[in-house]
């Protein structure tokens, strides 16, 4: 199971493996209090794409297309997240204020689609 959580929310035992999926460290958060198992900055969108998107909801669909293309080219960056999720809960931790339009939401969608394809499930998530 893959879940999402803002880094500013408290960690809980049901988070499972907590992975920060941001290229830049979140402002105002001490590394000692983040309760992270990993910082997977290499899975975050490249700086050019991140700056272009700038959390603009009108660019969301295009951002997702471009980001998914980046992920398609670098399976080694996201595959460990799927491996961990097959063993237990994984929480993708992000810093954006926008809970619907951010790279963690897009990454979760991408990973869910990959997981469903691999398991042979057919449906909306595999489209």
* Residue pLDDT, tens place only, 2-33: 999 999 999 999 999 999 999 999 999 999 88
Residue 115 has pLDDT above 90, yes or no: no
What pLDDT does 55 receive? 86
Burial of 109 (0-12, 13-18, 19+ CB in 10 A): middle
Predicted structure pTM score: 0.89
Section 93-119 average pLDDT: 92
Rg, C-alpha atoms of the chain:
14
Residue 111: closest CA among 83, 98, 97, 120: 83
Asked if residues 79 and 7 have their Cβ atoms less than 8 Å apart, the reply is no
């Amino acid at each position: 199971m893959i879940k999402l959580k803002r880094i500013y929310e408290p960690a809980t035992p049901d988070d499972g493996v907590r992975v920060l999926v941001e290229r830049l460290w979140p402002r105002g958060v001490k590394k000692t209090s983040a309760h992270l198992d990993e910082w997977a900055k290499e899975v975050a969108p490249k700086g050019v794409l991140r700056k272009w998107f700038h959390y603009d909801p009108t660019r969301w669909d295009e951002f997702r297309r471009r980001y998914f293309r980046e992920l398609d080219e670098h399976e080694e960056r996201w595959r460990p997240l799927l491996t961990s999720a097959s063993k237990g809960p994984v929480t993708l931790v992000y810093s954006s204020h926008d809970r619907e339009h951010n790279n963690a939401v897009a990454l979760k969608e991408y990973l869910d689609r990959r997981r469903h394809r691999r398991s042979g499930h057919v449906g909306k998530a595999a489209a």
